[in-house]
């Protein structure tokens, strides 16, 4: 899928900008998410990256890339309000890394304003800068020593264009550091994952089934396409194959499956992190999802990775190859 400049695309762009103008807290997650993240995700990430804390991983990988490339400039693709970039910048400075600058690309002027104000308030405006950019038309104005994308790629229609431009702009020793959602478009479930989820839905307690975003009880699981009105998950399933065609994976941590549904904003608030029953439910689903991924019976929905231009040894979850994480439509 290439450029889209029709009225539908323009209307989605306008709706996306308006959505983030009205939404002031774009990062809040349920308590049960943090229970799962601390108990399972952190150690899982550490198996590949050597650290549990995402900001520490991002800072370490970006610092290594800036040093190797000899270029201080880091492009952040779809930076939103820059809260992650600001957190990573603070971590870099604490680690003694001072010669860097984030060039944060973002569509929404409202998020850019928040990001600039936050960076200035922390004295980081020399390290974290912003550009208003529609990535469908992005043409880099400089080369970069590193690239970063934190949960932004699944909002992008023109993946091929963005990755091609980035590949040209990224210096030979530079790395592309990613954390994103790579499941089915619109964050729907592939059939092999939907069937067991629907069976599970028939036996879980009714209190787990209240949809907080739709504000109604969901007695039957609705496999909702989040991309139908905006850009949420618009080409999530194409991220992996498009990356594989253009970059070499150096590190790759993957996870996700049925558990995603129960720890996110829609249903996650139904589970109590102080409840032994609810924690045990999360524990069992994590184990089940991991077993399916290791067996190749399902493909991951989320990924952290470091990519570059040149092939080399790969560190990955359970020894999986990037190609094994691609699920193409039937």
Q: What is the CATH number for 285?
A: 3.40.50.150
**Which domain covers residue 110, as residue numbers?**
7-23+30-309
pLDDT in the model for residue 24: 53
Given a contact cutoff of 8 angstroms between Cβ atoms, the answer to whether 183 and 159 are in contact is no
Encoding tokens for residue 170?
């990224």
Question: Domain for residue 271, yes or no?
Answer: yes
Question: Domain for residue 202, yes or no?
Answer: yes
> Residue 23 class from Cβ within 10 Å (0-12 exposed, 13-18 middle, 19+ buried)?
exposed
Question: Domain for residue 329, yes or no?
Answer: no
pLDDT in the model for residue 230: 85
Q: Please, what sign has the CA dihedral across residues 313, 50, 100, 115?
A: positive
pLDDT tens for residues 117-166? Answer: 999 999 999 999 999 999 999 999 999 999 999 999 999 999 999 999 99
Q: Which residues contact 29 (CB under 8 A, 6 or more apart)?
A: 263, 264, 265, 268
pLDDT in the model for residue 139: 97
pLDDT in the model for residue 116: 97
Q: How many CB atoms lie within 10 A of CB 232?
A: 18
pLDDT in the model for residue 295: 96
Question: Domain for residue 1, yes or no?
Answer: no
- pLDDT tens sequence for the chain (330 residues): 333 444 466 666 665 555 555 555 545 899 999 999 999 999 999 999 999 999 999 999 999 999 999 999 999 999 999 999 999 999 999 999 999 999 999 999 999 999 999 999 999 999 999 999 999 999 999 999 999 999 999 999 999 999 999 999 999 999 999 999 999 999 999 999 999 999 999 999 999 999 999 999 999 999 999 998 789 999 999 999 999 999 999 999 999 999 999 999 999 999 999 999 999 999 999 999 999 999 999 999 999 999 999 999 999 999 999 999 999 998
Question: Domain for residue 319, yes or no?
Answer: no
What CA–CA distance (Å, rounded) separates 144 from 119? 21
Total domains in the chain come to 1
What CA–CA distance (Å, rounded) separates 92 from 148? 14
Given a contact cutoff of 8 angstroms between Cβ atoms, the answer to whether 213 and 219 are in contact is no
Q: How far is CA 115 from each of CA 75, 83, 121, 128, 250, rounded to the nearest angstrom?
A: 15, 7, 10, 9, 30
Question: Domain for residue 292, yes or no?
Answer: yes
Question: Domain for residue 53, yes or no?
Answer: yes
pLDDT in the model for residue 10: 66
Question: Domain for residue 325, yes or no?
Answer: no
pLDDT in the model for residue 28: 80
Phi, psi of 91 (to 5 degrees): -65, -45
Half-sphere exposure in the Cβ direction for 18 (13 Å, CA): 8
Give the DSSP letter string of 25-63.
Answer: --S---HHHHHHIIIIIHHHHHHHHS-S-HHHHHHHHHH
pLDDT in the model for residue 2: 36
CB-based burial, 52-90: b 16+ in 10 Å, e otherwise: bebebbbbbbbbbbbbbbebbbbbbbbbbbbbbbbbbbb
């Amino acid at each position: 899928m290439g450029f889209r400049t029709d009225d539908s695309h323009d209307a989605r762009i306008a709706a996306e900008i308006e959505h983030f103008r009205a939404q002031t807290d774009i990062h809040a997650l349920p308590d049960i998410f943090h229970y799962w993240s601390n108990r399972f995700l952190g150690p899982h990430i550490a198996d590949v990256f050597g650290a549990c804390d995402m900001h520490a991983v991002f800072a370490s990988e970006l610092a290594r890339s800036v040093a190797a490339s000899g270029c201080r400039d880091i492009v952040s693709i779809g930076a939103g309000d820059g809260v992650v970039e600001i957190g990573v910048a603070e971590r870099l400075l604490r680690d003694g890394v001072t010669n860097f600058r984030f060039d944060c690309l973002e569509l929404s002027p409202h998020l850019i304003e928040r990001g600039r104000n936050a960076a200035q308030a922390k004295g980081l405006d020399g390290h974290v800068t912003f550009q208003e950019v529609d990535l469908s038309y992005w043409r880099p104005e400089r080369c970069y020593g590193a690239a970063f994308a934190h949960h932004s790629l699944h909002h992008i229609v023109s993946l091929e264009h963005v990755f091609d431009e980035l590949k040209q702009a990224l210096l030979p020793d530079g790395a592309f550091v990613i954390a994103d959602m790579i499941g089915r478009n619109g964050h729907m479930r592939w059939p092999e994952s939907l069937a067991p989820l629907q069976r599970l839905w028939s036996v879980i307690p009714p209190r787990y089934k209240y949809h907080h975003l739709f504000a109604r009880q969901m007695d039957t699981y609705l496999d909702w396409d989040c991309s139908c009105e905006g850009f949420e998950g618009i080409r999530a399933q194409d991220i992996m194959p498009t990356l594989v065609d253009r970059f070499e994976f150096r590190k790759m941590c993957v996870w996700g499956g049925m558990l995603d549904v129960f720890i996110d904003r829609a249903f996650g608030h139904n589970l109590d992190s102080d409840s032994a029953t609810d924690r045990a439910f999360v524990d069992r689903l994590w184990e089940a999802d991991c077993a399916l991924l290791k067996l190749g019976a399902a493909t991951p929905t989320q990924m952290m990775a470091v990519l570059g231009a040149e092939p080399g040894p790969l560190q990955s979850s359970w020894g999986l190859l990037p190609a094994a994480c691609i699920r193409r439509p039937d």
